[in-house]
Structures are given as C-alpha cells and as structure tokens.
Chain A
Amino acid sequence: MVVDDHETNLKLYARVVTQIPNSSSNAFVSPKSALRWAELNDVALVLVDQEMPEMPGVDFIKAFREIRGRHDVPIIMITGTADKDLRRTAAQSGASAFLMKPVDPVEFIALAQNFMVMHNLKREALARAESSQAQVRMLQAGVDAKDTEVIETLERLMEARDKRLADHCKRTALFAEAIANRMRLSTNEVRNISTAARVHDVGKLTVLDRVLLKPARLTEAERRAAQSHVEAGAALFRDRATPLLMLAAQIATSHHELVNGSGYPAGLKGDAIPLGARIVAVADAFAALTSHRPYREALSVGLALDEIERGAGVRYESRIVGALRESTAEIIDVRARYPDLASTG
C-alpha cells in the first residue's frame, strides 16, 4: 500500500513496487481512503509520506495500527527532512523504517523486500504454531475422551455389581462438583475432580459384601479389609500418566485421609492431602451421612451439614466445608435426581 498526496510521487513509488517479485501495489492520494481500504484488505507493506494536508503520516500510522490484524505490518515512512524528533514520534507511533526524499529505488526495494520476507516468515511461523496448538488440543481431547471411557466402564461395572455403590459414587461426584465450583476452581479442574470422583470407591468391588454390609461393629481384620478399598481402587489407575487418571488414582487413594492426620491409608495432614481428595472427603462423608446404611438411618441435609461442620478444621478443611454449606441448593437438586434407594424404597 502506497499513500502520498502527490500523484507524481505515488506513481513513482507504485512503479518501484512492481520491481519486487510477487507484489502489486494499491496507491492512495487520500490517507483516509487508504485506512478504509486497509480495514477490509490484507496489507503486506505500507509506504507512507509524512507531509499530507488531509492527515500527517504519523497520524495515519497511529490509525493504521489500530486496525485489527495490522499491528505488525511493516510501515516505511518517507520524509522530506531529517527531523530527528519527527522520526522519534513516528517510530513510537509504529513506523518500522524511514526513507528520505529523493527516494532511492534500489535502497527502497532492498528495504521493502527484507520487511516483506520477515513479515511473511512471522505470519508463517504463527500459522504453524496455531496449527500445532490445534493438533495438541485435538490429541488432548482424544486422550480425555479415552480416559472418560475408562471411568465410564468402571462405573458400569459398579452399576452391574452394586447399584447402591454406583449411586453413592454419582452423588459424591455431584457434591464434589458443587463444592469445587463454589471454590472457584477452573472449569477444567472442576470437570476432572467431578469425573474422577465418580470412581472414588470403585475399590469396594474387591471387598466382601458381608464386611461392607455388616450391620454391627467390624472386627480389626474386617476393618482392614474395608479400608483396603482405597488401595484396590488406586491400583486400577496405577502407571496411568494422563491428568484425569492420575487424579482418579489420587482421589481413590486419599479420600479417607483427614486434615488432622487421623485418616488412612497414609495418615497425611492438611495440604499434604491432594486438593481433589480433600474435596471428595467432604463430599463422600456428606453423601454417606445422608444415605441409609445397614447400621443407621439417613440424616437430613441440615443434620448432616451440622455433623460435617463439627469436623471442620479437624477432619475436613474448613474452606471446603464452607463451600459445601454454600452449595445447599445444588445438594437438594442432586438428591432429587439421585434419591437414596433405601430411603425411597
């Protein structure tokens, strides 16, 4: 694009541009028309005169740089004087280089060619980077879909073997999702925690029913057998290196850890327990309290919240308990969608 209010100059510059291979020029006597044209058309290089009554070159450059996608187009400014202040202002406004009148065609062509090569290389590099990012996103989406399939398969297994267990996992996942949302975690984190929580108790499929459903106090051996579900669940995801399945392993392993260190299997304290597991610990306890169990009746939402709050700062992280309390509306909605079998039947 060539912009100069003197038609003779315009014609001369446009003629010089024809010497640059694979290029053509659009010439404008009016800088305002040039700006309108640049809004709709791609520009590889701008050659603009400084002294134009309609709009000085510096103002033209500022306005041109404001146009979307034109911030990095090379601009060569042609000046009639070697005024340093003017050049400084023009450079600050976005001029890439300067040429003095009389314009030397050889100098101009060399400069313009270099700028255009650089500009094209930059565009190509950006396009390549965008395309590889898109490929990475596609691959990542493929990995995410495969991981979700793994989790869905385990869920179906739980459904087939133990419907109550499957429903408990679903409710826990939805409570965990409500809590994580309330804690303003990123969309990705919320989705991963919620998905991984859907199989937090999958290890219970390896524990005998007579232990899980025993309506009396467990013996030491039975207690150890019941607690082994955390390792059994984590073992299903061992050696998986994708974010979702690694999180599923963490949550399966550590959702019975308590912030005061009295939980199992490792007796981890506070922040040493992964965040996903700390959230699921609260969601899991709340889901259990509000469900019928062989050894007790289901608690109401209010009573269960009170019970959890008694453990805030001791068994559970206070911030997470607070987020659970603030999620009462979502909790009631989840319970309506996934009613506890024993309490409804």
Chain B
Amino acid sequence: MPDSAILDLSRLREAFEDDDAGIIELLEMALGTGAKHVTSLSEALAAHDLPGVARAAHGIKGSASNIGAVAITRISAEIEDRARTGRSDGMSELSAQLDAAYAALRETVREYRAEAL
C-alpha cells in the first residue's frame, strides 16, 4: 500500500471503483503533466512573477488534491498562499520540497504498480 502521507488513494478508489490499472494510469499521467506545471512554477519564481507563481501553484494544488497527492497539495498550497500575500521568502526551500514531493510520489506510484499489477 502506498504511503498515505504522500498519496491518499481513498477518493481515487471511489472514482475508479478499485480499478488499480485505471488509477495507476491516471497517477502516471498526473506525474507527466505535473512536471510541466512545476516548470511553469520555476520559471515564474525565477522571474519574481508572484501572480504567476500563485497561478501555477493553484493549478498544481487543484490537480494534486484531486488525485490525493497529499504532500504536493500541502506544499503547493503554501507556495500559493505566500505568493498571494506577496511573500517571496522561503520560496526556494518550498520549491525544493515540491520537487522532493514529486520524486516521492513517482517512487510511490512505481511501487504501487509493482505491487498491484
């Protein structure tokens, strides 16, 4: 079973009626599109474009929360909140945490695939 601090599968199980293959396909897709959104976020951070950072983080948060990517949801919510309130401090740490959370999710999904299929 995946680590519930990284990935909470309860909603996806309801949505996919316990179809592991379907869930894994969706999670892998989320990892692919997530990488694109993280790139947008990094670009906005580099350009000190706080509204852009907030938008990108908001998008990541929405998708991540839908798939139950708990850690990514929490970190992207923190980034969005800081960007919206004009605080740029600690952004590079949070960005690194986000990368780590994605790496952890990727690993969790890989394990899940190995176990389930």
Residues of A near any B CB (own CB < 8 A): 6-9, 11-12, 15-16, 19, 49, 51, 80, 101-106
Contact = CB atoms under 8 A, between A and B. Distances in A.
Interface core residue of B12, B14, B15, B55 (most chain A CB under 10 Å): B15
A106 B63 CA distance: 18
A8 B14 contact: no
A11 B59 contact: no
Given A15-B16, A106-B14, A6 B58 contact: no
Given A6-B33, A6-B59, A51-B59, A12 B65 contact: no
Contacts of A15: 15-16, 22, 26
Q: Is the interface of B mostly helix, strand, loop or mixed?
A: helix
B26 A8 contact: yes
Contacts, number: 56
B29 A8 contact: yes
Nearest to B73: A102
B66 interface: yes
Nearest to A106: B14
Interface in B14-52: 14-17, 22, 26, 29-30, 33-34
Interface in B56-93: 58-59, 61-63, 65-68, 73
Contacts of B22: 15
B66 A102 contact: yes
B62 A6 contact: yes
Given A8-B29, A8-B67, 14 more contacts: A6-B33, A6-B59, A6-B63, A8-B33, A9-B66, A11-B26, A12-B66, A12-B67, A15-B16, A15-B22, A49-B62, A103-B11, A105-B14, A106-B14
B58 A51 contact: yes
Contacts of A8: 26, 29-30, 33-34, 63, 66-67
A7 B35 CA distance: 13
Nearest to B14: A105
Contacts of B67: 8, 12
A19 B65 CA distance: 21
B15 A80 contact: no
B29 A7 contact: yes
A36 to B, nearest CB: 24
B66 to A, nearest CB: 5
Contacts of B55: 51
A105 B16 CA distance: 9
A106 B11 CA distance: 9
B14 A80 contact: no
A105 B14 CA distance: 6
B102 to A, nearest CB: 13
Contacts of B68: 102
A9 B62 contact: yes
Contacts of B59: 6, 51
A130 to B, nearest CB: 39
19 contacts: A6-B33, A6-B59, A6-B62, A7-B29, A7-B33, A8-B29, A8-B34, A9-B62, A12-B26, A15-B16, A19-B15, A51-B55, A51-B58, A80-B58, A80-B61, A101-B66, A102-B73, A103-B11, A106-B14
A19 to B, nearest CB: 7
Contact of B63 (A9, A16, A104, A105): A9
